[in-house]
Amino acid sequence: MSRGLFITIEGPEGAGKTTIIGMLETALRERGLKFIVTREPGGIPIAEQIREVILNKENTAMDARTEALLYAAARRQHLVEKVLPHLQEGSIVLCDRFIDSSLAYQGYARGLGIDEVYSINHFAIEGKMPDATFYFDIDPEIGLNRIGQHKGREVNRLDLEEIHFHKKVREGYHLLLNRFKDRILLIDASQSVEQVFQQSLNNLLKVLDKQ
């Protein structure tokens, strides 16, 4: 049984997830709360190696199902090696992306089917879903433009997909919002950094209060 709180942050490219997670980290530390910040794909060496394979710009031949399976494999290892042990110790786990990314990107935007991708992920996570998910909603043209202006951020294989793909990713997330109404909370990521942060922090504190 896990005792901590599992929070995931989702959204299209350039929505501001990394920026806001960094600010939440400071706010949680100031409050003396026990937490970790991690990301998908990655967060531990095996999953970071899988990340390198999936996101490598050279791997243009990657089949969509292979891609979905690799994300699920990285998720499995990260979950058992890092997320679950920290939850068992009573930590808050703030994770940049989780299963909803697979459902929106591979399930909907790649066209593999949300239910099909959910089923391979169900095998990987054995039913362990986040306690709450904050979805940062942004027009992909704005998000990609932000990334383009972000000096030093490496452009990966998924960033290079056409705008149509990124629009489908956003549509996919909107379907998930409807499907998981009790878990996923929409945050308008086109607001200023300060506004997005305040809204995210208020929501996080509310979830913590309900525990």
Ligand X SMILES: Nc1ncnc2c1ncn2[C@@H]1O[C@H](COP(=O)(O)OP(=O)(O)OP(=O)(O)O)[C@@H](O)[C@H]1O
Ligand Y SMILES: Cc1cn([C@H]2C[C@H](O)[C@@H](COP(=O)(O)O)O2)c(=O)[nH]c1=O
Where is the binding site for ATP, in residues? 11-18
Query: Residue 10 interacts with ligand Y (CB under 6 A)?
Result: no
Q: How far apart are CA 168 and CA 29, in angstroms?
A: 36
Nearer to ligand Y, 105 or 197 (CB): 105
- Give the residue closest to ligand X by C-beta: 16
- Among positions 150-179, residues that touch ligand X (CB under 6 A) are 150
Mask of contacts with ligand X, 134-153, x by CB under 6 A?
Answer: ------------xx--x---
Which partner, ligand X, ligand Y, none, binds residue 142 by CB below 5 to 8 Å per kind? none
Q: How far apart are CA 154 and CA 125, in angstroms?
A: 29
* 121-154 burial code (b ≥16 CB/10 A, e <16): beebbeebbbbbbbbbbbbbeebbebeeeeeeee
| Contacts of residue 45, Cβ cutoff 8 Å, sequence gap at least 6 | none
Nearer to ligand X, 14 or 107 (CB): 14
Stretches 29-37, 100-108, 177-185, 188-196: which one binds ligand Y (CB under 6 A)?
A: 100-108
Query: Residue 102 interacts with ligand Y (CB under 6 A)?
Result: yes
Cβ–Cβ < 8 Å for 10, 129: no
Nearer to ligand Y, 145 or 202 (CB): 145
Cβ–Cβ < 8 Å for 92, 28: yes
CB of 13 to ligand Y, least distance (A): 6
Mask of contacts with ligand X, 3-32, x by CB under 6 A?
Answer: --------x-xxxxxxx-------------
Closest CA relative to residue 92, chosen from 32, 52, 46, 11: 32
CB of 126 to ligand X, least distance (A): 26
Q: How far apart are CA 169 and CA 103, in angstroms?
A: 9
For 75, which DSSP code? H
Nearer to ligand X, 12 or 84 (CB): 12
Closest CA relative to residue 58, chosen from 164, 159, 156: 156
Residues found near ligand Y in the complex (CB under 6 A): 13, 39-41, 71, 97, 101-102, 105-106, 156, 158
